[in-house]
Structure 1
Amino acid sequence: MIYKFRVILDAKEDIFRDIAIEKEATLEDLHNTIVNAFGFDGSEMASFYTCDDEWNQMDEIPLFDTGDVPGETRIMNNFILEDNLDKYESKIIYVYDFLNMWTFLVELAAIEEKESGETYPALLFSHGELPEEAPDKKFEAEGNDLDDDDEDLDMFEGDDSFEDYGFEENWN
């Protein structure tokens, strides 16, 4: 079986790629296909994130294990597409290059029979040009986490307890 995905750049403009990939492929294979479809060089870190139907980000699936305990974190090449995405769980978020935060909404659009003579993965359709820079993101805090009136912001104001640590004013 073949999974057909629509990969949409999270931007105001319509920029997307339709990709076909075998159901036995891993998330790392999908990552490589997305990198090629959008013309990235593939040298940056990336992660997929599980999400709900409203695209709310949940669990991270990184390209490499960057955890404190080797092997503790499941990485992209441990996730087979058919074991993690289906017609009921069809959405996943992809972030490429954590400095620029290229963010893509990836949705499983169809599951179809393999076409004879076709090679997979395949770029089926391309719409829109990738901008020079990643679209700006507005990150929001839940509730009032970033209120200017927050007393926690001033918790060290007037606190002289750090003066006796032996550092001179111009210690470096």
Structure 2
Amino acid sequence: MIHHYHVTSEREESFSLDFEIQADATFAQLMDLLIDTLDFDPASIGMFYICDDRWQNVGQVAHSDFFESDAGNQYEIEKTRLEDLLDDTGARMRYLYDFFEDRYLRLQLVKIHSGSLSSPQIISLEGKKPRQTDPDEFVGGLGGDVLSIDTPLGMMDEAFDEELFNADELSSDSFSIVDEE
């Protein structure tokens, strides 16, 4: 069986992607297709959320190291096949491709038909591709220069804008000190 998916972006309104993939492909193979097609960083962590008809999460497909305790049903990305969780036309999922900015792609299964493919097939790709946040760009955007593991501790204070943290706004009422014996 072959699954035909339509993909849109929550951030890039002009973007759309249609592709076909074997129904017995794993979610890891699907993620590889998305990474290759959209020029995402293959070292970045991604995960899928199985959704109901209102795009609410009802399950999670990820590497077991990244399971969230409140995500509902959890499935391993390397072992779970598309057909195991998505067997009806209209089935929905979201792919979290950017943890820093909480960016998702929406995927909807629009057609299931018989046949086989030797590899996934891109049917159409339109609009501006969504982009992932570069971790260095994200840290640098917090108010200072890009930080690295080699940045001296004194320079880290200088790298952040003082407006992000105001010690005068802290109240001792919200803290408690526990004496350990």
Deviation, structure 1 residue 77: 1.4
Residue 46 of structure 2: aligned partner: 46
- Give the fraction of aligned pairs with identical amino acids, expressed as a percent: 24
Other-structure match for 2:3: 3
* Distance in 2, Cα, partners of 1:92 & 1:109: 12
**Distance of 2:93 and 2:3 partners within structure 1:** 14
**1:160 & 1:8 partners in 2: Cα distance?**
43
Gaps of 5+ in 1: 135-155, 166-172
Aligned residue pair count: 139
Q: Which amino acid aligns with 1:159?
A: D
Cα distance change, pair 132–45 in 1 and its aligned pair in 2 (3 A): closer
Query: Which amino acid is 2:127 matched to?
Result: G
Residue in 1 that maps onto 2:26: 26
Q: Which runs of 5+ in 2 are unaligned?
A: 69-73, 134-169
CA distance in 2 between counterparts of 1:13 and 1:89 reads 20
1:99 corresponding residue in structure 2? 100
| 16-25 vs 3-12, greater mean Cα deviation | 3-12
Write out aligned runs for 1:9-88 (5 A): 9-11=9-11, 13-66=13-66, 74-87=75-88
For the residues of structure 1 that align with 2:91 and 2:13, how far apart are their CA atoms?
A: 23
The Cα of 1:66 is off from its aligned counterpart by 3.6
Give the drift of 1:15: 0.5
- Cα deviation digits, residues 114-167 of structure 1 (max 9, x gap): 26xx53212111011225566xxxxxxxxxxxxxxxxxxxxx9453985796xx
Q: Equivalents in 2 of 1:163, 1:57: separation in Å? A: 38
CA distance in 1, matches of 2:80, 2:178: 53
In 1, the alpha carbon distance for the partners of 2:5 and 2:89 equals 14
The answer for the alignment partner of 1:159 in structure 2 is: 173
TM-score by length of 1: 0.68
Answer 1 or 2: which has greater helix percent.
2
AA aligned opposite 2:31: H
SS at 1:78 equivalent: coil
1:19 aligned partner, one-letter code: F
Give the structure-2-normalised TM-score. Answer: 0.65
Confirm or deny: 8 A CA contact 1:65 1:75 kept in the other structure. Answer: no
2-structure distance, mates of 1:160, 1:109: 51
| Residue deviations 1:59-116 (CA, integer Å, cap 9, x gap) | 2221352469xxxx6321121111110226610111013113331111001112226x
Partner Cα separation in structure 2 for residue 6 and residue 14 of structure 1: 13
Cα distance in 1 for residues equivalent to 2:13 and 2:6: 15
RMSD (Å), alpha carbons: 3.0
SS in 1 for 2:83: helix
AA partner of residue 100 (structure 2): L
Q: Which stretches of structure 1, 4 residues or longer, exceed 3 Å deviation after superposition?
A: 131-134, 156-165
